[in-house]
């Protein structure tokens, strides 16, 4: 096993460990991180003119945004905030498609900036009492930490390059 394969194996175990021990709040943070890493990877592949790998990374970021972040929104309980976040996630996915088609790293940077802002806001809503509160309040319907949900999160977070 070469060094890169060993590093990838270590990273895979690290992601699976983080996901298996994560509450709903932490899973969303991991999804943000996975999307940001996929966009950074797409940017690097774009700059190196590695078209197929760029496309794969952009597709991975879109999957995390659409099937992870957007799907985890509770539209009923979240009201206008959930609706606005859903629209923002849809916008990000559309912009990522444009970045891929136009080979425009500035668009990738735009989406990365939006995700970074959202991740920071999500991190800041965690209070010291939030860990205790997560056991009392159920997570959003699609962000429940079932075994299936955790395996799906692991699949979305892993880069499939």
CATH number at residue 47: 1.20.120.340
67-70 CB contacts, 8 Å cutoff, 24+ apart: 67/152, 67/156, 68/31, 68/34, 68/35, 68/152, 68/153, 68/156, 69/28, 69/31, 69/32, 69/35
Handedness of CA 85, 87, 90, 95 (dihedral sign): negative
pLDDT, tens digit, for every residue of 124-135?
Answer: 987 655 554 444
pLDDT, tens digit, for every residue of 16-41?
Answer: 545 555 688 899 999 999 999 999 99
Instruction: Specify if 92 maps to a domain.
Output: yes
Instruction: Specify if 104 maps to a domain.
Output: yes
Low-confidence ranges of the chain (pLDDT < 70): 1-22, 127-161
Instruction: Specify if 97 maps to a domain.
Output: yes
Instruction: Specify if 87 maps to a domain.
Output: yes
User: What pLDDT score was predicted for residue 2?
Assistant: 57
Instruction: Specify if 65 maps to a domain.
Output: yes
User: What pLDDT score was predicted for residue 23?
Assistant: 82
């Amino acid at each position: 096993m070469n060094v890169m394969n060993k590093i990838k194996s270590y990273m895979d175990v690290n992601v699976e460990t983080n996901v298996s021990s994560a509450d709903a709040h932490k899973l969303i943070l991991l999804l943000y991180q996975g999307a940001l890493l996929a966009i950074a990877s797409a940017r690097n592949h774009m700059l190196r003119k590695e078209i197929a790998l760029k496309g794969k990374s952009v597709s991975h970021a879109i999957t995390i945004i659409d099937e992870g972040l957007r799907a985890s929104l509770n539209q009923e309980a979240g009201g206008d905030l959930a609706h606005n976040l859903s629209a923002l996630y849809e916008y990000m996915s559309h912009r990522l498609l444009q970045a891929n088609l136009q080979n425009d790293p500035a668009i990738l940077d735009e989406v990365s900036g939006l995700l970074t802002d959202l991740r920071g806001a999500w991190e800041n809503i965690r209070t010291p009492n939030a860990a205790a509160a997560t056991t009392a309040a159920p997570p959003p319907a699609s962000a429940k930490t079932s075994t299936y949900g955790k395996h799906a999160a692991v699949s979305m977070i892993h880069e499939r390059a």
